[in-house]
Structure 1
Amino acid sequence: MATPFTSDRLVSVLRAEGVRVVEHGSWRTHNRNHKGSFGPINGVMIHHTVSSGTDSSVQLCYDGYAGLPGPLCHGVIAKDGTVHLVSAGRANHAGGGDASVLAAVVDERALPAPRKHEGSSGAVDGNSHFYGFECVNLGDGRDPWPSAQLDAIERVSAAICRAYGWSSASVIGHKEWSDWKSDPRGFSMADMRARIARRLGAKPDKPKPPAAPKYEPFPGTGWFKKAPRSAVVTAMGRRLVAVGCSAYREGPGPQWTETDRQSYARWQRHLGYSGDDADGWPGAASWAALKVPKV
């Protein structure tokens, strides 16, 4: 049982464990505190987003949606291991869960199977008691969990446990809290707790300097007009999807198509271009702004 961190303290705790942190929007004051208490804090809860793409997933967790207003967690853990902070207060991430699970977390002992969920009689408000981290993953059991992402989950959890003096038993998955949840799917929470326990048995690593991102150089407008088939086109399409400029019904894929051009035109209009400057043929400035990952 503990008092929630201040936003400054949360950042320093994570960075001291070597976590690469990005502060998103007005995350320090973005919360649901007007809907209930945040604290006392008893543990850390891990989720998956059921989404793809870092930018769109972070924005979803920041804003929420019609049926569930944001923030939907405290931090979003991207596949590259970067942790995007979206709230420092109460967030809509845990919902109702089992009081016997909460008691086990408080006592730091083995978890019972959950028998409660949101809306059921006797359910406990988990949004008051847990820090929540959403991990970018489709949650279908096939979407991979890169080593950098699993390492970040380990570090985030260990950082909070270390600061509060908790053991790894204070870290649970959403599916271990509520009997109708399945997240996180694709790795074992028992294995993750073992990793966290090993980390807590050693001094934290020194914070790692941010890795400089590598982007695809602009191949030239003429290159696209030759209808290329390339992994660069796929990477571009995925970025267009991530920034909300998709005209795709399928894909994106490696073959440049009219749908790629239509999607890119949306991106150009998003940047404020119009007329011939928003014809869908990539230019150097709009390409640089899109930040297509190096492939």
Structure 2
Amino acid sequence: MATALTASKLIAALRDEGLVVHEVRNWRQHNRNTKGRWGPLNGVMIHHTATKGTDSSVDLCYDGRSDLPGPLCHGVIDKQGEVHLVGNGRANHAGLGDRDVLRAVVNEDAELPKDNAADTDGNRHFYGFECINLGDGKDPWPEEQKLAIEKAAAAICRAHGWSERSVIGHKEWQPGKVDPRGIVMDDLRGRIKKRLAKAAEGPPDADGTDAGGTDAGGSGPGGSGGGSGDGSTRPVPPKPQHPPYESFPGRDFFRAGARSPVITAMGARLVAEGCGHYKDGPGPEWTEADRKSYAAWQRKNGFRGKDADGAPGQVSWERLHVPKS
């Protein structure tokens, strides 16, 4: 589960992924929060608009219809691959869907169950992107648009430390839905996975410098091995002069059955960073939920593969700022 990104953080995440982003009217205050809860956030949902034309589609998604008030999503992705932000908060896009699908998204399961029920409020739990397409199976999906869908979903996953398994189509959530028609969701998730395996490319007007800030030579702190975790190519950030934080207790500290108030404090920080995968807790005992939550934090910090296995390492620990307990 995660706390929703602020408007400014959402824009920053999208632009840092290389997207052109347009702010539409009063989108920062435009939502349906008075009609239901917004959060915790668990994933990203992709739709098609069943319309054509950028301006009219964006206006529709902002204003809504007489039977369904706007915003109808958070962002509209046009045929040119640009994002138009129309809502910030609860939006009328997901509707009721299958709670088993939501559980699979929360757990980032490898396979989604069949959506055969409509018993859970998806507007509360998902960011939504409407992609301009007639949805008739004939209207093409330009590569620029497909790339923007990939980038937009990856941007939110990166911001929350989610994997590609947190991205679903409306057709995988609500029985009877077919959108986004023409997009194979497993293929899209595969593209998102590859994108998340490398650093964000930076804003489209950036000067081409490496946004990841990695040291390809591997000669920085931790590069000589020893199993400190989180990889050897990322420099350890300088410690504060008067750190009020828990020192890294070592990887062996985090093992099945370990109990400590430090683990509770760590879990609270993971939740605060939008990386919590807890159904109950966090608590003082190291559990699989702690490991999944910490893996989300590692991914949020740009680590991948074995460096994002959920076993805390010194670099990610010092960035987490776990208070002394």
The TM-score with structure 2 as length reference comes to: 0.62
User: How many Å separate the matches in 2 of 1:65 and 1:187?
Assistant: 25
Q: Which residue of 2 aligns with 1:82?
A: 82
AA paired with 2:95? G
Partner Cα separation in structure 2 for residue 86 and residue 35 of structure 1? 18
Q: Map of 1:146-295 to 2, 5 A cutoff?
A: 146-209=142-205
Q: Which residue of the partner structure matches residue 97 of structure 2?
A: 97
Match in the other structure for 1:115: 116
Pairing 1:134-153 to 2, within 5 Å after superposition: 134-153=130-149
Say which SS state the counterpart of residue 133 (structure 1) adopts. strand
Give the residue type in structure 2 aligned to 1:192: L
Cα shift at 1:206: 2.4
Q: Does 1:67 align with 2:67?
A: yes
Task: Quote the RMSD (CA, aligned, Å).
Answer: 0.9
Q: Which runs of 4+ in 1 moved over 3 A?
A: none
Q: 1:56 aligns to what?
A: 56
Residue 205 of structure 1: CA displacement?
A: 1.0
Q: Specify the alignment match of 2:280 in structure 1.
A: none
> Matched residues in 1 for 2:120 and 2:202: separation?
38
Between the aligned partners of 1:91 and 1:206, the Cα distance in structure 2 is 28
1:209 is displaced (CA, Å) by: 3.1
- For residue 126 of structure 1, report the CA deviation from its aligned partner: 0.1
In 1, distance between residues paired with 2:183 and 2:32? 30
What per-residue deviation string (whole Å, max 9, x for no partner) do you get for residues 87-106 of structure 1? 11100000000000000000
For residues 123 and 205 of structure 2, the distance between their equivalents in structure 1, rounded to whole angstroms, comes to 32
Residue matched to 2:30: 30
Aligned letter for 1:114?
D
Query: TM-score under structure 1 normalisation?
Result: 0.69
Q: Which runs of 5+ in 2 are unaligned?
A: 207-325
For residues 39 and 19 of structure 1, the distance between their equivalents in structure 2, rounded to whole angstroms, comes to: 25
Amino acid at match of 2:83: V
The DSSP-based 3-state class of the residue aligned with 2:153 is: helix
Aligned letter for 2:131?
C
Partner SS state of residue 159, structure 1:
helix
Unaligned 5+ residue runs, structure 1? 118-122, 211-295
Report deviation, 1:51.
0.1
Give the Cα separation in 2 of the matches to 1:23 and 1:152: 16
Q: Give the partner amino acid of 2:117.
A: K
Amino acid at match of 2:10: L
Deviates more, 1:72-81 or 1:108-117: 108-117
User: What residue is the counterpart of 1:42 in the other structure?
Assistant: 42
Cα distance in 1 for residues equivalent to 2:92 and 2:132? 17
Q: Counterpart of 1:236?
A: none
Partner secondary structure for residue 40 of structure 2? coil
Partners of 1:182 and 1:116 lie apart in 2 by 15
SS at match of 1:103: helix
Deviation digits for residues 96-119 of structure 1 (CA, Å, limit 9, x no counterpart):
0000000000000110110123xx
| Number of the residue aligned with 1:287 | none
Distance of 2:157 and 2:64 partners within structure 1: 27
SS in 2 for 1:139: coil
What SS class does the counterpart of residue 45 from structure 2 fall into? Answer: strand
Among all aligned residue pairs of Structure 1 and Structure 2, give the percentage whose two residues are the same amino acid.
61
| Aligned counterparts of 2:98 and 2:49: Cα–Cα separation in 1 | 22
CA distance in 1, matches of 2:149, 2:30: 22
CA–CA distance in 1 between the matches of 2:66 and 2:204?
A: 38
Secondary structure in 2 matching 1:175: helix
Q: Structure 2: which amino acid aligns with 1:17? A: E
Distance 1:187 1:6 in 2: 29
